[in-house]
Structure 1
């Protein structure tokens, strides 16, 4: 049985003990825990406190294990509660910090103190839980901690981050002006909301500018596309870290100035600053945008040189996306195969990339493997597999997967899913079924849907349905030359030269000029249509 001891002497023993220094991995942590159990040290509150601290604060990814140990303590003291809330707030799953705080407030024998509130508020900020954050602010006032520097600065950051700049400003004006952290938090709030003028005024008035404040302003300008201002501040900054460089690189990529992004990266390496995952994500995005396989491959090689372990999920996903968009689907699939940790986006990139590059059977096979592994697909996954079914002529499977969306995974079909199904029926020559499907759609069909049908009618020589599709297109818009050209070609293929001439005359009467190579359906390998249907990472 673990007894409750809360005196300062026992709490300080944790700081003197070297136990946590030996916990570098979850395995070593478990070994030490086992030793404590065998030797009976789990009856010593200070030993358990040390174990909790190591699991929550020292060992990466061990917060879940810390929670299991914590839940077996009958009456944790305030230090232990705070350690758990802090560790959870700083982890990848900060929601557990909120749950712990709620448990502490509602059922614990101890009450929150000046250390508890900053951790809980930071978790609310990460999660965007404004109502709960306001509630915690009320508790701060009740317990008299609003004047505490750390609590106040955290509240300024929370309110500024959530858009309540008036409250943040009041806290700042009341007693926060002496703290550079408060200046930076308020400046960041205005910059994040696009009020760069006010942010710059605060920045200029700062009695002391730390690196965070410089990064806040550079990032603010970069996100708003004001790269000249960002560069000026970047050049003036007395010191820089990887965040500073990342802000500039990401800003150039966002503004499609990819060459400048790579120039900035070269500068970064020349001064000896090591890139991190954020750097590489921006650069891989630029490679994908440019379709530059050579530079993308060099970035991958650099990652391998710098890497101390396995690829992170985010970087792995970016590599798959980059290789797929640069036309090297085999390399994309190689990255997928070597990744240790995959999320749904990883599977989406591989499934969609294979489908986009004509490997329909492999795409469908990978989707089936995903289902066997009990990984729930999302709406983007289904776009990829429906494209694959369309190109493989698998009408039955396409119908099955379309129905699976709502019946099994509660995914509401969007316009891309409908577009995939229309393309599936159209390619298979099931034109009447395609029209019937469009008539029963739960959302209004757009021009892409009707143009897909019109293209299918041209391929299969169905003039009657082609005229109907064209009529629906013309109701939507009258300035697309490609729509007229498709119908004209349909008449010509059937030998109806009068019909073709009427379409041409209608174009002339409307003042519409034919644009060379404009038609989506007539594009090489239908890639334009596929790109629209599977615009997965940016608009999924």
Structure 2
């Protein structure tokens, strides 16, 4: 930051080399040492870098901002912009009100850059009342005719449901602006009116990539993958958003295999995936139980992190844990879990649920104890996983303790899933009357799953009379259309040799026209072993 002549000069290009909070702090330290912290232009650039350019540096931007005695409008706008795109968009509005309160001299009048950021925050908050107040302020400041502000207003009104106001703004000069067209198309699509969105799309004088992506995403979210794919194939130039929309659409419509096929196309086309792509692909691998493909995605993801194309977020770690657990590799799921420096409640739930799924009840309980020791508050999902672990492994004492812990210490109201876990656990262990009391007296309406769990336990322990009661409740709740409900009762009679009752159940099925589904077996080849070194594993310590 010093010329060869010895004179200092400010080099704004340096700030754009920052890629992390750490490098940002290093530049800030150099500013202090070399005296640039007293240079308003240097400080402005540093705030911009922290608020806008570096993910996760917004808190640092606020710290820098608080050290400025008299921030100018550029600095206020920069911080408002960062907040509008950050995790808490309401902070942008709070900053704006603070700016108005501190503007005693009238030198901080909001301009055409201030309001679009605020309107963006309103869209993210889905706050029509707040946006309407801002619209009134825009009118008072005489900025409604500015093209940049008008497009932001159209986007706000279209996305917050007031299409009449959006249409008024859209009529006139705005029709010459492709951004305004895209905002209107997105507004109709967001409201689910794809027909109106398509009409606008077809009438657009110059379709931009945003319009194409909006339509593709709209059809994909509605499950109309034929139309989404048709538009995707017509798209002149695709970006990662285009590919992600189709991949996510196939995944959400129940075709994870096609999602992976589209990713192969994406790779051949030379498009680089991002975090959204990888999250969809990991979900697809989990749905398919495709361990080999999931491990390859993991290796690719690790390479992307090393090259700094993707940050190792908690969300990615959770997706990896869920994928490995669903694909049968709880060891790799645990390896990812142990390597994560940051975790959220979903992280703990994923690993406890994975351990429960694979019958590692004691390990699940140890992880649960570790979670509580670290003062992470469990939620409803946590207790479903813990109770499932206790149920599958016969840990009745531990299950009763967990249920009491959930209701008494954490004040979580049991839902039907907790009820099902308790009935299943008690029934498996032979505590049939206690299981029945849970089903009838816990203040939660039992669903068919609960009664099937009790009926299955009655079959295991040969309690015909209780089985009859459970079956009657089951048929009343389910409507009696599932052949499996009759077969469970029939097998209970068969287990104690009451063959006459077995025949009555079969006759009842015939009278009600309930067909017995043919039995099938599914055999899946064992996936080939994939070795990942610690260098190739994301979140490996």
TM class by smaller structure: 0.7 to 0.9
Q: Contact 1:88–1:94 (CA<8 Å) still a contact in 2? A: yes
* Distance change >3 Å, CA 134–CA 299, structure 1 → 2: same
Q: Contact 2:483–2:516 (CA<8 Å) still a contact in 1? A: yes
* Distance change >3 Å, CA 410–CA 126, structure 1 → 2: farther
Aligned counterpart, 1:280: 278
Aligned counterpart, 2:289: 291
* Matched residues, number: 507
Q: Contact 2:15–2:27 (CA<8 Å) still a contact in 1? A: no
Aligned counterpart, 1:532: none
The C-alpha deviation readout for 1:220-261, integer Å capped at 9, x for no partner, is 222233333333332332211111222222223333344433
* Distance change >3 Å, CA 468–CA 186, structure 1 → 2: same
Q: How does 1:388-427 map to 2 (within 5 A)?
A: 388-427=389-428
SS in structure 2 of the partner of residue 492 of structure 1 = helix
Q: 2:487 aligned with 1:489, yes or no?
A: no
Q: 2:96 aligned with 1:101, yes or no?
A: yes
Q: 2:472 aligned with 1:474, yes or no?
A: no
* Distance change >3 Å, CA 21–CA 192, structure 1 → 2: closer
Q: Contact 1:75–1:108 (CA<8 Å) still a contact in 2? A: no
Q: Distance in 2 between matches of 1:230 and 1:511?
A: 41
Aligned counterpart, 1:172: 170
Higher mean C-alpha deviation, range 37-46 or range 154-163? 37-46
Return the match for 1:54 from 33, 49, 53: 49
Aligned counterpart, 2:147: 149
The C-alpha deviation readout for 1:56-103, integer Å capped at 9, x for no partner, is 123331110121232344443222211111112223333322322232
Give the gaps of 5 or more residues in structure 2: 1-8, 524-541
TM-score calculated relative to the size of structure 1: 0.86
Aligned counterpart, 1:158: 156
Q: Distance in 1 between matches of 2:402 and 2:137?
A: 50
Aligned counterpart, 1:193: 191
SS in structure 2 of the partner of residue 238 of structure 1 = coil
Give the gaps of 5 or more residues in structure 1: 1-13, 525-540
Q: Contact 1:241–1:273 (CA<8 Å) still a contact in 2? A: yes
Tell me by how many angstroms 1:419 deviates: 0.8
Tell me by how many angstroms 1:388 deviates: 0.7
Q: Distance in 2 between matches of 1:131 and 1:440?
A: 45
Q: Contact 1:20–1:53 (CA<8 Å) still a contact in 2? A: no
* Distance change >3 Å, CA 297–CA 202, structure 1 → 2: same
Aligned counterpart, 2:24: 29
Q: How does 1:216-365 map to 2 (within 5 A)?
A: 216-307=214-305, 308=307, 311-365=312-366
Q: Distance in 2 between matches of 1:229 and 1:484?
A: 43
Tell me by how many angstroms 1:331 deviates: 2.2
SS in structure 1 of the partner of residue 176 of structure 2 = coil
* Distance change >3 Å, CA 196–CA 474, structure 1 → 2: closer
SS in structure 2 of the partner of residue 207 of structure 1 = coil
Higher mean C-alpha deviation, range 311-320 or range 27-36? 27-36
Q: Contact 1:20–1:58 (CA<8 Å) still a contact in 2? A: no
TM-score calculated relative to the size of structure 2: 0.86
Q: Distance in 2 between matches of 1:95 and 1:378?
A: 26
Tell me by how many angstroms 1:392 deviates: 2.6
* Distance change >3 Å, CA 98–CA 407, structure 1 → 2: farther
Return the match for 1:130 from 112, 128, 131: 128
SS in structure 2 of the partner of residue 191 of structure 1 = helix
Tell me by how many angstroms 1:39 deviates: 6.7
Higher mean C-alpha deviation, range 34-43 or range 373-382? 34-43
Higher mean C-alpha deviation, range 49-58 or range 493-502? 493-502
Task: Report runs of 4+ in structure 1 exceeding 6 Å deviation.
Answer: none
Tell me by how many angstroms 1:35 deviates: 5.1
Q: Whose relative contact order is higher, 1 or 2, with alpha carbons under 8 Å and at least 6 apart? A: 2
Q: Contact 2:189–2:218 (CA<8 Å) still a contact in 1? A: yes
Q: 2:90 aligned with 1:88, yes or no?
A: no
Higher mean C-alpha deviation, range 495-504 or range 33-42? 33-42
Higher mean C-alpha deviation, range 119-128 or range 307-316? 307-316
Tell me by how many angstroms 1:470 deviates: 1.7
* Distance change >3 Å, CA 64–CA 406, structure 1 → 2: farther
Q: Distance in 1 between matches of 2:31 and 2:10?
A: 18
* Distance change >3 Å, CA 21–CA 482, structure 1 → 2: closer
* Distance change >3 Å, CA 390–CA 162, structure 1 → 2: same
Tell me by how many angstroms 1:178 deviates: 1.9
SS in structure 2 of the partner of residue 337 of structure 1 = helix
Return the match for 1:183 from 181, 184, 196: 181
Aligned counterpart, 1:66: 61
Q: Distance in 1 between matches of 2:296 and 2:48?
A: 41
The C-alpha deviation readout for 1:20-57, integer Å capped at 9, x for no partner, is 34644323333444455567765554444333223212
Q: How does 1:372-391 map to 2 (within 5 A)?
A: 372-391=373-392
SS in structure 2 of the partner of residue 146 of structure 1 = coil
Higher mean C-alpha deviation, range 154-163 or range 255-264? 255-264
